[in-house]
Amino acid sequence: MLGLELETFELLVLGHHFATTFYMVSARIVGAGHLSAMMLMLCGEISNPFMNGMFVTRFAIKLSCCRGPWMEALHSFLELGYAIVYVYFRIAIGPLVAAQLTYDLLGTPQGRKNVPFLLSFVWCCLVWAVIVGSIPFIKEALGMLGDGLVPKYHKDYDFGERYRHEEL
């Protein structure tokens, strides 16, 4: 299909975005579940400022115009900050929110008052699928925590053929 091969990372990201989009759109359609969607978004997206900064700096340090001790130090702190926030919310907070949501939607009559049972079941399956799908990223973040301020994605890290280019 268009000569593009998707890697596991890309498939997980696409699946994550399909699940979250379906959840939010269906919550909007039934007029309920918006608070649970907001709680899940907070747990899933709170690490984004760190992650985006880490992505920018990890590629910036590969360019001669941008690399240097300041950029490398910034990248180290962003990577560690990302790992701390991601691990905390994906291991501690996210599963607790998902468990409470599952209990509320499937285990209580009040939870199904405005959301049909089948949709509640689909939502819970999607939420747990996103949590299970984040396990490879949790492992990576745990590795980053173990490295401390020594970044995983250092200036000599090889990102593979897809990221090789002539330097700007």
pLDDT in tens, 61-94: 878 787 788 888 898 999 999 999 999 999 999 9
* Number of domains observed in the structure of the chain: 1
Measured over the CA atoms of residue 118, residue 124, residue 126 and residue 128, the dihedral's sign is negative
25: in domain = yes
Residue 86's domain comprises 10-156
Kindly state whether residue 124 falls inside one of the protein's structural domains. yes
CA dist list (Å): 106 to 1, 41, 117: 40, 20, 7
Note whether residue 166 is domain-resident. Answer: no
- The CA-based angle 38-29-23, given to 5 degrees, is 45
**What CA–CA distance (Å, rounded) separates 123 from 103?**
12
More confident residue, 2 or 125: 125
**How many CB atoms sit inside 10 A of residue 24's CB?**
16
Is the pLDDT at 168 greater than 50? The verdict is: no
CA distance 74 to 130: 30
- Residue 128 corresponds to which tokens in the numbers above? 């747990």
Cα(107)–Cα(101) distance, rounded to whole angstroms?
9
Model confidence at 125, in pLDDT bands (50, 70, 90)? very high
Euclidean distance between CA atoms 77 and 74, whole angstroms: 5
Residue 126 included in any domain: yes
Domain for residue 109, yes or no? Answer: yes
> What φ, ψ does residue 75 adopt, rounded to 5°?
-60, -40
pLDDT at 77: 92
- Asked if the structure places residue 75 within a domain, the reply is yes
pLDDT in tens, 27-60: 889 888 888 888 888 888 899 999 999 888 888 8
Q: Check residue 91 and report its DSSP letter.
A: I
162 part of a folded domain: no
